[in-house]
Amino acid sequence: MLKSNFIKISLEPYVYVDGQSDKTLTLVLNIALNLSRGNILTLIFHFNLYVSNDQLTYTAERCPQLKRLVMPAWNRIKKAGICRAIRLWEDLESLTMPSIANPPYLMEEIAKNCKNFSELKIMGPFDIFFASTLVTFLPNLKVLSLRCSMLFKDALIIILDGLQHLEVLNISHCHLIGVPLHPSLRKILKELDESILQRASRLRKFFTCMEDSCIMCQRTRNDEGLMRRYKYEEGHWKAGEVQSLAL
């Protein structure tokens, strides 16, 4: 898969992409999208492919029938850019995306424009704010994957209580954080308690793994829920317990 030639930087967007790398991606998009004649249903971008705002807009305008988007790297995507793309993707059903600080603007856009949207995979921390946003704007969500992420117990409860149409939930290898006894402390949970299991019993599938012997659980724990994917084997980010979201 095509990847960007980039370096990490300390200021937004926190990556610098080589100009030739950008030109190569633009050329590939131009050729592929012209050949597709607007018939592309699935787009998968590599974890280390940093699409620019202009490249996203160009792609969205030429993929009006898109149903599934996998785009883990949003560093160079602006709010206006992704919102414009979502408005063009009325048939979008599935999205794999990074965690973002302000999810309401995006989820509201999806709710307004993508009436068949049903599957979401978040690659990154999942807190109470994100959970509440999903309940507010995407109450009919059917499949949610949060694997290998920092997950707050209260956020998990909000999801289980609020997403009444949820059928499949994946929290495998998550760094689960409970309510601490003191604000300065972080309480790491090593098993699911009855309050979670009871709520999850209504789901058709509930994927979990919190085993000390599991390599993925060890990695998430060692990275404190902020998966440093560059340290691991190529392609590990594609894996998933939910078949419809795995690559």
Same domain flag for 10 and 79: yes
| Mean pLDDT across 135-163 | 97
Q: Residue 201 belongs to what domain range? A: 128-247
Q: Are residues 73 and 7 in the same domain?
A: yes
Structural domain count, the chain: 2
Classify residue 100: in a domain, yes or no: no
- Span 158-186, average pLDDT: 89
> Between β-strands 150-152 and 143-145, what pairing exists: parallel, antiparallel or unpaired?
unpaired
The answer to whether residue 185 scores a pLDDT higher than 80 is: no
Asked if residue 27 belongs to a domain, the reply is yes
| 98 located within any domain | no
Domain assignment present for residue 132? The answer is yes
Judgement on whether residues 154 and 86 belong to the same structural domain of the protein: no
Q: What is the pLDDT of residue 179?
A: 78
Same-domain check for residues 82 and 133: no
Angle between helices 104-113 and 128-137 (to 10 degrees): 20
Please say if the pLDDT value at position 212 is more than 80.
Answer: yes
pLDDT at residue 234, rounded to an integer: 85
Residues 74 and 147 both lie in one domain: no
Distances (CA, A) of 49 to 40, 129, 156, 222: 19, 27, 30, 25
Same-domain pairing of 54 and 138 = no
Are both 75 and 140 inside the same structural domain? no
Report the share of the chain in percent with pLDDT over 90.
Answer: 90
Note whether 81 and 137 are same-domain residues. Answer: no
Grade residue 95 by pLDDT with cuts at 50, 70 and 90.
Answer: very high
The chain-wide mean pLDDT, for the chain, equals: 95
